[in-house]
Chain A
Amino acid sequence: MKIKWKKRLAVLSLGAGLLTLSGCHGSKALPEFSVPADFDASGNYEITFWAKNDTNKCQTDVYQKAIADFETLYPNIKVNMKLYTDYNRIFNDVITNISTGTTPNVCITYPDHIATYMTGKNTVVPLDGLFADEKYGLGGSELLYDGPTREEIIPQFLSECVLEEQHYALPYMRSTECCYINKTYVEKLGYELPEVLTWDFVWEVSEAATAKNADGTFALNSQNVMIPFIYKSTDNMMIQMLRQKDAGYSTQEGDIRLFNDTTEEILYDVAAHVESGAFSTFKISSYPANFLNAGQCVFAIDSTAGATWMGAEAPLSDISEDAFVSFETAVRMVPQFDPENPRMISQGPSVCVFNKADPQEVLASWLFAQYLLTNEVQIGYAQTEGYLPVTSKAQQSSAYQDYLARSGEDNKTYYPIKIDASTLLLEHTGDTFVTPVFNGSAALRNAAGQLIENVANSVRRHETVDEDYMEGLYSDVTALYRLDQKDIASGGKQELGSLPGAAVLLLAALAVSWLLILLYVLRDFVKKKKKH
């Protein structure tokens, strides 16, 4: 089934984070939101919800059911959903709509993007007041549904929604990346698959998998195609490698540390393995799943939220049935430099509430946003992919535990690779991290991946990757993502340089004029004093 070639556009829409922010400043600012004492149930509210799905019918079904159930509870709130399949399109549309005052009420988003939305004054509602409201807050007494208390939201996931010391979002779902492995091939090459993959192991096995037969086919699969190691998100690849090495990326304040010696070492490694044919990326070659499932890949790294596409028995696939090969699929966390202290990225959608002139409309929006954290929605959505519910209330529920326990019962709801991926995150939530969020952090993330993509492309095009190349690369990527303009975007101070000559002359003339006026006044004062 042909699915999602356009997803590629989504991923490649790199510069969304670079959109001009002037639109945000052009709109009339809304008053600061304050929580109404009561929800006016006599009013009718029509709110818009911009939702993101992974081009997955099951996910849109969960959203639609959630809306229908919510509208039954609150007949005076109508929720209109607009579906997106990628975050950057949502981001782009939100930015456009901030300038016209037509933002959605509730929106699936990433904290990186909220940081940019917040350049518009009072655009996004800070949620701490709403969290704590006794009636309508988390676990509030007047809620018409059984939502989680604040303590029941996984603290780590909730903390990811803090910007400028306030919560501006609720976590909705969480995922991480994992490595989907053709275990059969690993063993065929003479290796034993460890519980924790190291980068050295993955590179070594990948190099071994490039061996060819005399007829030009690959020894491992007897096919014409074999890309042993494919990474879907090179942004995440670079970010995780740097974090695992405790190397620079950015400070919490938004100072960029990406261009450092460790980054360069990583890029040289990448270059060497691209050169040998051991490594490629999604942007260059296509979806890792397509190669893995066809027996043309050993290590495929993709989101846990893509698990239903991965493996020899994957329920979803873009390749034809006859292209599948039989193999044992294994799931592991992403490769590590220090297996004793694994680190992996935390990702997944959050949900924010936009401010409106009518506080009651905002409260209605909040009621819906909070409803998305109820067990039925959380568990329903988590089952569609290798997602993890964001509340302990859902994670510990008998319904979710039953779901996990039934792994392997079928290749749809209980597809074992999907449940393995979710379990991996469940067991390693404490090993996840997020990158600092600031206005410009989305661009920095894209830049991190672009370094790998550029190096990989250059090697394939037989360019020389050396010190001079790296210097040019850093400069090009800085310019492409306007990383040198971060301070401008975030309203920080800039070094403006010396004043132009004309300005200096004008200021000097003004100073002389004021001096002469002052002298005249003084002289006049002295004269008058003498007369007296």
Chain B
Amino acid sequence: MKKKLALTLTLALVLSLTACGKSQDSGSDEKSEGVMTYAEYVDAALDSEVVIETYVQAKQSWWEDKATLYTQDKDGAYFIYNAVCSETDYDKLTPGTKIKVTGYKTEWSGEVEVAEGASIEIEDGNYVAPVTDVTDLLGKDELINHQNKFVSFKGMTVEAADDSGAAFLYNWDGSGEDGSDLYFNVSLNGETYTFTVESYLCDSSTEVYQTVKNLNVGDTVDMEGYLYWYEGVNPHITSVTVK
């Protein structure tokens, strides 16, 4: 009897752990009733109401009960701009947290997002998106299909950020100071792109901020970040590795 009980309990424990593992590792993209798939979100007209379930990948900022979030599900990414969110709820959001977002789809300088004022509900579920290598898509039209995703760029070369030969600038024109956004140029196959360390997302205490401050023109770097858009591709970089 005791052996049977012990076996039953062991099996139950193993099964429950397996279930937990699935939930933690992959989550579920089965959408609740009334919730759009990513494809439906993409097809939705601008200024139309959208209801999505997605997973927080990174938090950019919280300001007076408004949260800005980088989120993604298995099929695509959603940028949530200034959603209504208490500080208490914001603190509960960690990478992978599942949320339901109800708001309006909009576009601002090329960035498609859920507009300011959306509501957020925290749901059960967890999913951290793997990084997508988009190096080969730089300069190609298909890149926009990965907008807002967690992406990587590999083997790029640091170029001068201005005429003085600096490897990075505080703000786009050097008008900032330590703590401001960092702008730096990287090239691949003869084309140069401007990448950003967004200081609300990664402030001056972060490793990526310090790494970019120590870059030298000519360095070869691998990078990860979120594929933000502003009048063209404008990735918000979260890690840089000098090769």
Instruction: Identify the A interface with B (CB < 8 A).
Output: 1-6, 8-9, 12-16, 18, 53, 55-57, 59-60, 82-83, 85, 283-287, 290, 318-320, 457, 460-462
Contact = CB atoms under 8 A, between A and B. Distances in A.
B200 A59 contact: no
B109 A5 contact: yes
Interface in B9-64: 47-49, 61, 63-64
Contact of B175 (A6, A82, A83, A286): A83
A6 B181 contact: yes
Contact of A461 (B49, B61, B194, B200): B49
Contact of A1 (B104, B108, B194): B194
A8 B49 CA distance: 22
Given A13-B64, A83-B180, A284-B106, A2 B175 contact: no
24 contacts: A2-B172, A2-B230, A3-B173, A5-B230, A8-B108, A9-B61, A13-B64, A14-B64, A16-B64, A53-B175, A55-B171, A55-B172, A56-B175, A57-B171, A57-B175, A83-B177, A85-B171, A283-B116, A285-B108, A286-B109, A318-B230, A320-B231, A457-B104, A457-B115
Interface string B91-109: 0000000000000101011
Given A9-B61, A55-B176, 12 more contacts: A1-B172, A3-B171, A4-B172, A5-B111, A6-B181, A9-B63, A9-B68, A57-B171, A57-B174, A318-B230, A318-B231, A462-B47
Contacts of A462: 47
Given A9-B61, A12-B82, A15-B64, A290 B231 contact: yes
Nearest to A459: B47
A2 B234 contact: yes
A290 B109 CA distance: 9
**9 nearest A-B pairs in the assembled complex, by CB-CB distance:** A57-B175, A286-B109, A3-B172, A5-B230, A57-B173, A460-B47, A15-B64, A60-B175, A2-B234
A320 B82 contact: no
Interface string B170-190: 011111110011010000000
A2 B194 contact: yes
Interface in B59-79: 61, 63-64, 68
A1 B230 CA distance: 10
B173 A56 contact: yes
Contacts of A318: 109, 230-231
A85 to B, nearest CB: 8
Give the size category of B's interface with A.
20 to 34
Contacts of B111: 5
Contacts of A319: 231
B221 to A, nearest CB: 19
* Of listed B64, B68, B82, B180, residue having the most chain A CB within 10 A: B64
A16 B64 CA distance: 8
A302 B181 CA distance: 24
B196 interface: yes
B82 A2 contact: no
A55 B61 contact: no
A13 B63 contact: yes
B165 interface: no
Interface string B144-179: 000000000000000000000000000111111100
B130 interface: no
A141 B63 CA distance: 47
* Of listed B68, B82, B175, B180, residue having the most chain A CB within 10 A: B175
* Of listed A3, A56, A59, A285, residue having the most chain B CB within 10 A: A3
Contacts of B231: 2, 290, 318-320
Nearest to A319: B231
A444 B151 CA distance: 42
Contacts of B181: 6
Contacts of B63: 9, 13
Contacts of B108: 8, 284-286
A424 B174 CA distance: 30
Contacts of A5: 109, 111, 230, 234
A82 B183 CA distance: 19
A305 to B, nearest CB: 14
A475 B115 CA distance: 22
Contacts of A460: 47
A228 B177 CA distance: 37
A284 B49 CA distance: 15
Contact of B176 (A83, A283, A284, A285): A83
Nearest to A4: B172
Contacts of B180: 83
A337 to B, nearest CB: 30
Contacts of B198: 6
Nearest to B108: A286
A283 B172 CA distance: 21
Contacts of A287: 109
Contact of A59 (B82, B175, B177): B175
Contacts of A57: 171, 173-175
Contacts of B82: 12
A14 B66 CA distance: 11
A286 B183 CA distance: 21
B181 to A, nearest CB: 7
A55 B173 contact: yes
A59 B106 CA distance: 34
B165 to A, nearest CB: 16
A284 B46 CA distance: 11
B104 A461 contact: yes
B232 A55 contact: no
Interface in B216-243: 230-232, 234
A489 to B, nearest CB: 16
A5 B177 CA distance: 17
Contacts of A461: 47-49, 104
